[in-house]
Amino acid sequence: MYELKKIKPWWNHLHLHTQIALLSGIIVSATIISQTYLNTTRQTLEIRERIDKDIHALVEHLSLSSQYSILRKDYASIEDQLLKLVKFPHILSLQVTDIEGGNLGLVVKTESNTQVKYPTEKTPIPEKVVSLLRSPQPQKQVLWYPINNVQHLGWIQATYTTAEILTIQRQTWIENLSISAALIILDIVILLLILHPPMFELRRATLFASNLDANKGQRLALKFSFIELRDLVSALNNTSIRLREQDDVINASNRRLKNIARELRESKVNLEKRIEERTQQLSWQANHDPLTSLFNRFEFERQLHRLKESCLEHPESGHVIFYLDLDQFKIVNDTCGHVAGDELLRQVSFLLSYHLRETDIITRLGGDEFGILLENCHLEMSTHVADNLLKELRNFRFSWNSKIFNIGASIGIVEVNNLSGSIDELLSSADIACYTAKDMGRNRYHIFHAEDEESTERSDQMHWVSKIHNALDNNQFCLYQQSIKSLHNKDIHYEVLIRMKDADQQIHSPYLFIPAAERYGLMHQIDKWVIKNFFSHYHQLSSQAKGSIYSINLSGASVGEEATRDFIKDAIRHYEIPAERLCFEITETAAISNLGNATALISELKRLGCLFSLDDFGTGLSSFSYLKTLKVDYIKIDGSFVRDMKKDKTARTIVEAINNLGHSVGLQTIAEYVESAELLQAVSALGVDYAQGYAIDKPNPIVLENGEIIPEQISI
């Protein structure tokens, strides 16, 4: 109170305009100081966030790279990684522990050097398996980061300094205060000049008037009364006030315009920044696989095109393509689910990248297939790289929910040089080489050569694969039938056969495209096409044909698929087909290799009235023992034995034995490949029930009651 009493007289002694200037200065000072504090705090937070972000990225990289070393118990590799990463700015120490806090590696950075320590006591670890940030000291931060939080292999403890933040904070505070003080002084001076009392203007006007002599140059005597002088001062004050008010309005408008301009500039900058970020994001997504962050197929083909062009400019250069396919991925996916499969792909991606050069290009082509481009690498050197990758994948163990899986791979290798074909041809050759490696026993590589018989065969089959897909999409298959004639009465059955018709209306035999369909998993789609197309036109067959039994072949893929039973039952009900007129042929090999599904399929469809025939009987070693398990109605004697009956006594004996065996268990027998009248007479003499072959009937298109051939109009 005493201080206020001392200040009050001094304050009252000041002029009103000076008081306003000082008060404005105090307000501006408080505003600038508070803004300075906020700016300093914001800059400090930005620096802290940048450091925390960098440390988190470094620790995350260490977590990914150390999990494989932990699984292999390669602690020397962990120590090497720690020694490399501890050189990062701000890092004081890095430690890797197991899940119980046991030390697996500790590196501490001092002012003079870097030390590797081996503490025996366990380190206290967090209770939860999440990333934690602790502050035991004002200038230090301790980050706990889990290693693979899905399986939880251990912890990473990173200690880093934040002393730089305090130093920068002090420097920023001093700089901002200096600028603020200068702005405050400038503000007070400007206000004093703007708010200077108008008496000086009055005095200047009076002096001017007292010396004014328009005509004679004589001094004019100006006399003002006190009231006039007061009125004049008041008028001048009012004028000054109005001028200041107008000036304030103009200044306010200018400030608003400046604020609008600043906001527009900031909006433009923010918009350009968002556009740039979005462009970068879209560019990244266009070239990368979202699951593994590797390049995608589009970028792989672009890089392959670049390498191919470089070979044309530099014929002496050479590059290599790896087409890598995991061998046990489906087991993991089916056993543990897609989440485990995705994690396996991520870990394999990291493992492959870790053992390749920085100049090598690795991509995920799709599913469990990876493509690798070895730039400036000759074919001989690439085999060493392939051996190393296969070794690492064989030694790799994928753990999921206490289950351990061994992962292998097959690699197809193709050389890229100035004589290489198109991009599609190179990728097709690599794919062929990869699947050739799988056929040769998996966990190996195969180098593609154009003259290689295995590669040529697979290339031909892949050519038929595209034709099969096109035929399924455009209904370019057509149905044929061949008679199965009884040798003891007039009874006639028919077997439904399939042919492929290309764009030139040329008919292709199933012996050309069925092997490719079996190898590439397309037989179940062909079987469904045959069933739906035949069933949809069954009631349009001639009345005599509808009274016969029609045999339809089922592949091993369809027999092994549980959904086949429901598909056939639904089709029989939907098209109202008399089940007792249907006979499904299953090859002996398919029935034995899928015995459980084959038994269930036969049992369910026989309850509807369907018949079954065991095709190619006699080719398997266990045929006779399985006749009791498989409740079939017919057995078709393999045509290779029937065809050689006239010139091979052993073949005739086998046919006779199979026929007698079938009759002994109550089955009817059918002889295939009866191509001549002599063979027909021979199988008839043995007592075979039915015969099928060119001696009886050739395959012909199925004709409807109105004389038309079954149109291909039902798609699957």
Residue 690 lies inside a defined structural domain of this protein: yes
pLDDT at 31 over 80: no
Q: What is the largest CA-CA distance in the chain?
A: 163
Whether 641 is covered by a domain: the verdict is yes
Last residue of a domain, one of 283, 307, 333: 283
Could you give the percent of the chain with pLDDT greater than 90? 15
Range of the domain at 421: 297-450
Instruction: For residue 161, give the CATH number of its domain.
Output: 3.30.450.20
The answer as to whether 713 is a domain residue is no
> 96-129 burial string, b = 16+ CB within 10 Å, else e?
bbbeeeebbbbbbbeeeeeeeeeeeeebebeeeb
pLDDT at residue 221, rounded to an integer: 47
- Res. 27 pLDDT band, cuts 50 70 90: confident
pLDDT, tens digit (0-9, with 9 covering 90-100), for 259-268: 777 777 787 7
Helix (H) or strand (E) holding 158: strand 154-161
- How confident is the model at residue 243, as a pLDDT? 67
Q: Which of 226, 254, 283 is the last residue of a domain?
A: 283
For 514-529, the pLDDT digits (tens) are 887 887 788 889 999 9
Residue 570: predicted pLDDT: 92
Residue 448 CA from chain centroid, whole number: 28
| CA of residue 524 relative to chain centroid, distance | 28
Q: What is the mean pLDDT of the chain?
A: 79
What single letter denotes the amino acid at residue 652?
A: R
Within this chain, do residues 107 and 151 fall inside the same structural domain, yes or no? yes
Half-sphere exposure of 521 (CA within 13 A, CB side): 2
Q: What is the CATH number of the domain that holds 357?
A: 3.30.70.270
631 in Cβ contact with 603 (< 8 Å) = yes
Residue 710 lies in a domain: no
Same domain, 232 and 359: no
Cα–Cα distances in angstroms (integers) from residue 697 to residues 485, 549, 612, 682, in the given order: 9, 16, 22, 17
Q: Which of 97-111, 129-143, 226-240, 253-267 has the lowest mean pLDDT?
A: 226-240
Q: Is 439 in the same domain as 474?
A: no
The answer to whether residue 357 scores a pLDDT higher than 90 is no
Assess whether 527 and 664 both reside in one domain: yes
Q: Are residues 540 and 632 in the same domain?
A: yes
Reported as a single tens digit per residue, the pLDDT across 677-696 is 898 898 999 999 999 999 88
Q: Looking at residue 650, which CATH number applies to its domain?
A: 3.20.20.450
Give the best-scoring range by mean pLDDT among 196-210, 251-265, 443-457, 642-656: 642-656
pLDDT-above-70 percentage for the chain = 79
Please report which confidence band the pLDDT of residue 10 belongs to, taking 50, 70 and 90 as the band edges: low
pLDDT at 660 over 80: yes
Number of domains in the chain: 4
Query: What's the pLDDT at 320?
Result: 93
Tell me 691's DSSP state.
Answer: E
Among 415, 450, 485, give the residue marking a domain's end.
450
Residues 531 and 589 both lie in one domain? yes
Note the pLDDT of residue 413: 93
DSSP assignment, residue 542? Answer: -
Selected residue with higher pLDDT from 570 and 274: 570
- Is the alpha carbon torsion for 12, 13, 18, 22 positive or negative? negative
187 inside domain: no
Same domain, 690 and 545: yes
Give mean pLDDT, residues 609-627: 74
Same domain? For 258 and 304 the reply is no
> Using 50, 70 and 90 to split pLDDT, how confident is the model at 2?
very low
646 or 479: whose pLDDT is higher? 479
Looking at the fold, whether 582 and 696 belong to one and the same domain comes out as yes
Is residue 15 in some structural domain? Answer: no
Q: Choose between 612 and 2: higher pLDDT.
A: 612
Q: Is residue 473 part of a domain?
A: yes
Region 192-204 average pLDDT? 50
Amino acid at residue number 333: N
How many Cα atoms within 13 Å fall on the side-chain side of residue 308? Answer: 17
Do 613 and 507 share a structural domain? yes
| Distance in angstroms (rounded) separating the CA atoms of residues 388 and 392 | 6
216 vs 653 pLDDT, higher one: 653
Same domain, 634 and 503: yes
Q: What confidence tier does 583 reach under pLDDT thresholds 50, 70, 90?
A: very high
Q: Is the pLDDT of residue 495 over 50?
A: yes
Q: Is residue 422 part of a domain?
A: yes
437 in the same domain as 301? yes
